[in-house]
Amino acid sequence: MKYGYMGRSNLVVSKVCLGTMHFGRVTPDDEAFAIMDKALEMGINFFDTANVYGGETGQTETVIGRWFSQGGGRREQVVLASKVYNDMVRDRYVPNDDKGISAFKVRRHLEDSLRRLQTDHLDLYQVHHIDRRISEDEFWNTFSQQISDGKTQYIGTSNFTGWGLAKFQMSARQRGLLGIVSEQSMYNMLCRYPELEVIPAAREFGIGLFPYMPLAGGLLTGKKKAKEGSRTSQVSGEYGISLDQNQQLDQFSAFCGQLGEAEAVVAIAWVLANPVVSSAIVGVRTLEHLDLLERASELHLDEDSLSYLNKLFDINSGRPLRPAEAPEAYAW
């Protein structure tokens, strides 16, 4: 397993991050425990979760907490990340629990996450979505307090815009703070929108990118058919992509065959080839899903391979946009 730094922080994380969203919802506890044990054996030291993951809110954190409670140095070996933003009371409206960020809400939600996770601190606490209303003062007063109290060590974001990263990182600099160290965005060969604004902003401000869904929910794994009701079937509908007689994906599989690598390995390696990417988050449902992750972290795609893949999955094909960062993508 290869490692790198989380953005401009001095924290070292594995190039593949264990995504735990399926724990407690799809993956039963015993298999989730086996997956986490195996991930540590493979050298994966970075685990990502959120307070809303699981069949019920907080369930995934509870599963991870039970795994930590087994001891054996499990918690000490893991760089643990969770998230806050969404409401945790689903059956009725609670004003200060609704979607968004406030000092009132964050203190309570973080305490609840720590209780479920059976730990006294998080290593990375991430804002799950951008809150357009919160002021920079409340944002940084809130999260600086949690760092001062030892409840978390670093602050990250998820699903932020480029301007959102710039806004809050500049305000952090004005306060003499380290600020945001990471951003989670959906990023893969079929979803390259972060290249317009988010990745340039992350690069400029020293923020490490954690792409989630690097396999596009299974669309980039070589599957020729999606089972009805599966995650791949759901994402296929969201992306408007059919696996049946898909020339683009067939060409991708053929290219991977020439390289002698599995499609999933190449798809993850493509994401990791971007120097802004600190770690790729792979949502694991079964033990078998771990098999190719070490190879994916190690595979180096040469310039010719990257050029071919970038052209094959050019999101601007047939559109009045060019394959470039903003503003060059749409202005000159």
User: Containing H/E element for 234?
Assistant: helix 231-239
Instruction: Give the CB-side neighbour count of residue 36, counting CA atoms within 13 A.
Output: 34
Query: Which is the catalytic residue, given 5, 53, 85, 93?
Result: 53
* 249: alpha, beta or left? (left if phi > 0; alpha if psi -120 to 50): alpha
Query: CA 54, CA 268: separation in Å to the nearest integer?
Result: 24
Which residue in the block uniquely carries the two structure tokens 């030291």? 45
Where is 230: in which H helix or E strand?
none
Question: Considering just the CA atoms, what is the radius of gyration of the chain in Å?
Answer: 20
* Residue 308 a catalytic site member: no
67 to 14, 23, 216, 253: CA distances (angstroms): 20, 11, 28, 37
Burial of residue 133 (CB within 10 Å: 0-12, 13-18, 19+) is exposed
Residues comprising the chain, all counted: 332
The dihedral formed by the CA atoms of 83, 85, 89 and 90, expressed in degrees to the nearest 10: -100
Residues designated catalytic? 53
